[in-house]
Amino acid sequence: MSDQIILRVATKIIVPTILLFALYVQFHGDFGPGGGFQAGVIAAAAFVLYALVFGLRRTHRVLPTWVVRTCASAGVLLYGGVGLATMIGGAEFLNYNVLAHDPEHGQHYGILLVELGVMITVFGVMVTIFYFFAARGREDL
């Protein structure tokens, strides 16, 4: 799509906006609809759009496969780490009350961290799946 200048410029404007919306959905998730899963899919959709317009090779330079796989693993570790932190604090797994001086603040921090872990994992897995299917039959990647 190197001859599609309007599409390329529009994509350069839209991708950061999509990523900003993903962050909005992520951090608004504990007050309304949304959360980690939705935000992860929205963020992954931004990179899928980027790959469709600019090509898979350029997308791999912007977001290498090792980064995507690290995201998939790091999100799970963050989710599990919050659960272990609550157990170390003397509560049940994912009982957020012990994460702060006040149980209400602990609930807020716990939900925020767990949803962040879900977002990072979903983003990594979705982009990995896209990379896998987009690279099928291609030897140059």
Q: In the chain, where are the structural domains located?
A: 5-134
What's the half-sphere exposure (Cβ side, CA atoms, 13 Å) at 127?
30
Q: What is the pLDDT of residues 94-110, one digit of tens each?
A: 999 999 999 999 998 99
pLDDT on residue 140: 65
Residue 40 is encoded by which pair of tokens? 């992860």
What is the pTM assigned to this prediction?
0.91
Residue 29, pLDDT score: 73
* pLDDT surpasses 80 at 15: yes
Dihedral (C-alpha) 107, 111, 117, 122: value to the nearest 10 degrees? 160
pLDDT of residue 137: 77
Helix and strand element counts for the chain (H, E):
5, 0
Confidence of residue 90 (pLDDT cuts 50, 70, 90): very high
Nearest-10 crossing angle of helices 36-54, 103-134: 30
Compute the average pLDDT of residues 71-98.
Answer: 95
Mean pLDDT score across all residues of the chain = 92
Instruction: Report the pLDDT value the prediction gives residue 61, as an integer from 0 to 100.
Output: 96
Are the C-beta atoms of residues 84 and 98 closer than 8 Å to each other? no
Cα(46)–Cα(29) distance, rounded to whole angstroms? 19
Give the confidence band of 141 by pLDDT, cuts at 50, 70, 90.
low
pLDDT of residue 65: 95
| pLDDT for 91 | 93
pLDDT-derived band of residue 115, with 50, 70 and 90 as boundaries?
very high
Longest Cα–Cα distance of the chain, Å, equals 61
